Each structure stands twice: as C-alpha cells, then as structure tokens.
Structure 1
Amino acid sequence: MSHEAKYVPPKRYPFTEDKIFGWVMENQEFCLYLLQIILPDLNIQKIVEFHKQDAMGNDDREAKDIRLDIKVVDDQGRIFDIEMQTTPSAYLGRRMRYYQSIIDGDGILKVGKDYSQLPDTYIIFLCSEDPSDAFSKKDDRAVHFFKTIDTKDGDLKLNDGATKVIINSKGDFASESAELKELANLMNDKEVSLNDQFIWAQNRVNELNKDRRSDIVSYEAKLMDRELYGRQEGIKKGREEGRQEGIKKGREEGRQEGQNEERLVGVKKSIDIALSFTQDDDAILNKVKSQYGDHFTDDDLKELIAKAKGKLLQEA
C-alpha cells in the first residue's frame, strides 16, 4: 500500500464503526431495546433468533452476495435487519430493495407453505450521514418509514408485509421520542445519559476502544487495503478493456476503410465503363447509383464522374 493510502486510525472509534456496532449490538438486550424504541407500535417482546454479520448467499454465482449487519427474528416470526450506513448513497433505496429480495429468497417460505405465511420484514438503516440523496426530494426529518402505497392514493397500502426504516442521525428530531434523540446522540458520538441502556452502550464503546482497538485498526486497515486493491484492479481492468476496445475499434475502422477503398475502386471502374458508352451525366449517375448508391451520396458520385470525364479530356 502506498504512503498516501496508508490507514491512519482515528483517536476514537464511535458506535457507528462497523466492528464497534457489531460488538455492541450482539448484546441482545440492547438490540431488543433499540428495536422497541424504533418500532414502538410493534410491541416486540423477545428475540428468538440472532445473527451478526449474517452472510446471505445467492444460487446465481453471478449475483452479488450481501452480509447483513444484524438480523434477528422475534417470537412472532417477524424478521428485522439492522444496518449501519456511514456514507451517503444515492442508491440506498435500491440497496434496501436488494436486501429485501435476498431475505425473501433465503428459504423463509418453505415448499407447500401459503404466501400468507411469508413473515413481515423490517429493514432498518441507521445513517450517520444525511441519506437525502436517496430520496426524490430533500427531507430533513430524522425518521422515515416506507411502505408500498398507491401513487394516486397515499392512504391505500399494499399489504406485502415489507417495511423499510431510515433513521438520519443528522436529521430533525424535534418531534421524535427522547429515546430516538438519545440514539442520535450515541450515533453522533455525543454524551448520553437518558437511561441505563444508553449509558451501558456508551461505556461498551469506551471499553472496546481500549480493549479491542488493535483489532479494529487491523480490520479497518484491511478494509482500506481491499478497497485500494479493488480500485487498482478496476483501473487495470478498465485500461485493459480500453486497450482491447481500441484494438477492436482499430480493426473495425481498418476493415471499414478497406471496404471503402474497394468500393471507391469499383465505382471508378463502373464510371469508366459507362463513359465508354455515353457522355450523359444523368445516365452515368443512374447507372453507378444503382450499384453504389448505398455507400456514396449523389454529390460524391457526380464529383467522381466529373473527375473521370476531366481525366479523359486530358488523355485525349
């Protein structure tokens, strides 16, 4: 790795850092608490399945695999995917759509089961930066719930059981609960003091910065190495593809040029032959146009006829 690309670790890793987030969220009591304050109307009581960094494969080898940050199932069979998003992306919505498709395709509806048994899913993205690039317009609200609705009647919803939640830690929390405001403070690495849950989380972040810092530094450095390698490979591949495309284009241009040269020789011969029978420009034009009209304009043919007649006069 070059000197310019060398990873320089920050003085402190926040809750939003990938490893920190995973280690804090693996405390199922805190994970359940976050789900309860984000989705209070669901009355979530218990987590019965918990998966951290759950790799979701795909039967199609060409398809993109994903790795869910936190995936849990509650005692009612509802599936919750909690993701930490630290960079703005105009394609956040499409990413959530892909996550939804992978979760649905992960064998959760067994053969012989009815579609009514397809579980409700909640994809939750905690964004440390403004996610508005992914929206159709700028929106400063902190919490967004997206469902499938009729575009002509916003009150008409399609009961597909899919909900997407986006929380913007930089958004306006004025109308949100005290708990969600405190979640924003935790995400923005500010002091928290609302209750024991958040105090525990912040203390856990502090502990991990002391006890697991070397592991995080190594992980982040590897991520940067992989990203740099990916960029370099992309540049290399792009150059090779460009070179191959250039060769292909050059060959095609050469082939076209050769064909054009052959056509030019052919049309000149046809004009010379026609001139041996007539000097009428229109008659000659009609003759050669029937053969070469797809490749030469009338003006081009007239110019070639004029040159051929001038050449005959000089030779005479």
Structure 2
Amino acid sequence: MEIRDLLFSEHPMFDRVMEERTDLCQRLLETVLGMPIAKVSNVVAERTLQPRIGAHGVRLDVMARTSGAVYDVEMQTYSREGLGKRMRYYQGAMDTAMLTPGVSYDNLPNSFIIFICLQDEFGAGLPVYTFDMRCEENDGVELGHGFIWSVLNVSAWEKLPAGQLRGLLRYIATDDAGDDGLAADIAVAVAAANADGLWKEGALAMLTIEEDMRAQGRLLQKAGWEKGLAEGRAAGMAEGRAVGMAEGKAEGRAEGRAEGRAEGLAEAGALIASLMDAGRFEDARRAATDADYREELLRGLGQS
C-alpha cells in the first residue's frame, strides 16, 4: 500500500525543508516578521538546549542564526497548555546558550521566537499575536531587551490582507500554494522531500499516533475541499453559459469552497477529532483510509 505524503506542518517535513533550504527559511522569517533580515548563515533542526546540568531541557524545532540575531521557529499542530510560560523558558534557554562566562550582556544577540500554530491559542480570533515588553506607565520608555515573540494563528489566515503572510498561512492551512511565490517554492521543496521514499517512510515512523491521525484528518479535509471546489466550478461553468462565463466561474468557485469546507470539516472534524478525543486511535486510523468504514462511523454518529 502506498504511504501518504507528509504535510509541511508535520515536524519531520518542516525540519527538513527549513534546514536544507536556508533561503526558504530566510524568506519565511522575513514574511512572518515583516522586515528584511541579514543572510541566514546557519539553520539547525531539533536543536537541544539545556540551561544547566539537571535542568529541564528544550528542543527547538528550527534554530536559525544571522550575523546579529537568533531565531527559533516552532510548528505547533495541536494546542498545548501554558504557551506563554513555554516561550518564556525557551527565551531563557536561548539566552543562556548565547552568552559565555565573563561576556557582557550587551553581546546578547537580538532574538525572535515564532510559534506557527494551527489553532488559535489565545481565543481572540487574531491571525497574528506579537508580544513585546513595554513600560505600563509610559509607552515611550524603551527597555532595550532585544527580543520579540510572535504567535501565528493559521486558522485565521483569511483575516489577513492579500500578501505573502496570508499566502503562507493559507498554504499551511489548506496545502494549496495558490499563486503565492513563497508558498509555491515551499510546496516544491515539500514535493521533492516526499519523492524520497526511504526518507518519507522513516519520517512517518517518527510521528506519534496522535500526530498522524491529526494529519490524516487534515488530508481528509483537503480532499473534501478539493472535491467541493471541482463540483462548484463545474456547476458554475454550466450556469455561466446562461448568465455569462465569468460570473459563472466566480460563483462556482465560491460554492465549491463553501461546499468543500463543509464536507471536509464534517469528515475530519466530526469523525477524526471525536475518535481521537475518545482514544479510539485504531478506529481513527482505519477511518482515515477506508471510505466505507468512515461512512459507517458517520452514520453511527448521526444516530447517536
């Protein structure tokens, strides 16, 4: 049986693309931060930092360095409690690793911690949350601390204006690069990695059952979205012959997106997520690949 492809958001793929393609890593950082940065000279995936012997260590998904700054980029595919304190600990671990004994604090490089989250971790509906330290009594007072934390909410990509950040988050959410240059280049790198069958098999084995099931649910959602989009386009083109081809295509695309999202969410959300929450991982795995069994389970949910 042919094994599935990995998504960019899955950590083995994310790590590989960012580490092998430092140019894409740099473009991603510039897109997220909204500013140019110096050339990325070093990217290390799964970098382990331990502030001191016996202390709790951290493993960074992707750590990148430029001549004057250090960047940590984390891909988070499901919600975890305590994100704020987690970022605080990551910051401390990074700072400790950057400063050797006897060196002035002025030598600490600027640092940026970026979490790309598939869900909204703070519930405010924002696509981007940026955290910086400010004086509560006077906004004009600069602390000069030299770090910024950013949390991206991929699920709210549609709230962003047209541009590369919207295109990037849209690609992560839907696996559809569209006409965005950065997303398209990442998609090419992802396809090349998936073509490496030996690596792909090993990478899939690295995923936990929960991670794999969540990805299977997202693939089902994408399949539903694409099916609905195709059907909507066909319906729109048929109607467009009567009312005008351009109007028909536009309406068909809109109907396709709506229908596809509804179908995908019904399958991936109502079934895969509920099975996983119930700890029924084997059922979830079978439902992800067996259409008849999936329909049987969906009928069962409808009767309950």
Compute the TM-score of the two structures, normalised by the length of structure 2: 0.62
- Does 64-73 or 192-201 show the bigger shift? 192-201
- Does 32-41 or 152-161 show the bigger shift? 152-161
Does the 8 Å contact 2:18/2:43 carry over to 1? no
Which residue of structure 1 aligns with residue 219 of structure 2? none
Which residue of structure 2 aligns with residue 109 of structure 1? 99
Q: 1:176 to 1:154 in 2, by over 3 A?
A: farther
Which residue of structure 2 aligns with residue 28 of structure 1? 22
**For each residue in 1:265-307, what CA deviation from the matched residue of structure 2 results, as whole angstroms up to 9, or x when unmatched?**
xxxxxxxxxxxxxxxxxxxxxxxxxxxxxxxxxxxxxxxxxxx
Q: Find the aligned partners of 1:165 and 1:20 in 2 and give their Cα distance.
A: 22
Which residue of structure 2 aligns with residue 122 of structure 1? 112
**SS state at 2:207 partner:** helix
Q: Which runs of 5+ in 1 are unaligned?
A: 1-8, 133-137, 225-316
Q: 1:94: how far off? A: 0.7
Structure 2 counterparts to residues 152-301 of structure 1, below 5 A: 152-154=137-139, 156-171=141-156, 173-176=158-161, 178-211=163-196, 212-221=199-208
Q: Find the aligned partners of 1:222 and 1:50 in 2 and give their Cα distance.
A: 28
Q: 1:59: how far off? A: 1.9
2:28 matches 1:38: no
Q: 1:167: how far off? A: 0.7
Does the 8 Å contact 1:125/1:166 carry over to 2? yes
Q: 1:167 to 1:222 in 2, by over 3 A?
A: closer
Does the 8 Å contact 1:15/1:189 carry over to 2? no
2:147 matches 1:142: no
Q: 1:69: how far off? A: 1.0
Q: Which runs of 5+ in 2 are unaligned?
A: 212-304
Question: What is the identity, as a one-letter code, of the residue corresponding to 1:29?
Answer: D
Bigger share in helix: 2
Q: 1:110: how far off? A: 3.1
Q: Find the aligned partners of 1:221 and 1:143 in 2 and give their Cα distance.
A: 28
**SS state at 1:123 partner:** strand
Does the 8 Å contact 2:7/2:175 carry over to 1? no
Q: Find the aligned partners of 1:172 and 1:50 in 2 and give their Cα distance.
A: 26
2:69 matches 1:78: yes
Q: Find the aligned partners of 2:157 and 2:195 in 1 and give their Cα distance.
A: 32
Does the 8 Å contact 1:147/1:163 carry over to 2? yes
Compute the TM-score of the two structures, normalised by the length of structure 1: 0.60
Does the 8 Å contact 1:192/1:198 carry over to 2? yes
Q: 1:141: how far off? A: 1.1
Question: If you compute each CA radius of gyration, which structure gives the higher value, 1 or 2?
Answer: 1
Q: Find the aligned partners of 2:28 and 2:147 in 1 and give their Cα distance.
A: 19
Question: What is the identity, as a one-letter code, of the residue corresponding to 1:50?
Answer: V
Which residue of structure 2 aligns with residue 18 of structure 1? 11
Q: Find the aligned partners of 2:108 and 2:13 in 1 and give their Cα distance.
A: 32
Q: 1:188 to 1:114 in 2, by over 3 A?
A: same
Q: Find the aligned partners of 2:112 and 2:93 in 1 and give their Cα distance.
A: 13
**SS state at 2:124 partner:** coil
Does the 8 Å contact 1:141/1:173 carry over to 2? no
Question: What is the identity, as a one-letter code, of the residue corresponding to 1:46?
Answer: K
Question: What is the identity, as a one-letter code, of the residue corresponding to 2:80?
Answer: S
Which residue of structure 1 aligns with residue 56 of structure 2? 64
**For each residue in 1:55-102, what CA deviation from the matched residue of structure 2 results, as whole angstroms up to 9, or x when unmatched?**
1123231x2111111111112x21111111111123111110000000
Q: Find the aligned partners of 1:48 and 1:217 in 2 and give their Cα distance.
A: 29
Q: Find the aligned partners of 1:94 and 1:12 in 2 and give their Cα distance.
A: 34
Q: 1:112 to 1:60 in 2, by over 3 A?
A: closer
Does the 8 Å contact 1:14/1:189 carry over to 2? no
**SS state at 2:178 partner:** coil
Does the 8 Å contact 1:68/1:81 carry over to 2? yes
Q: 1:154: how far off? A: 4.8
Q: Find the aligned partners of 1:146 and 1:14 in 2 and give their Cα distance.
A: 28
**SS state at 1:217 partner:** helix
- Aligned-residue identity in percent: 25
Q: CA RMSD in A?
A: 2.4
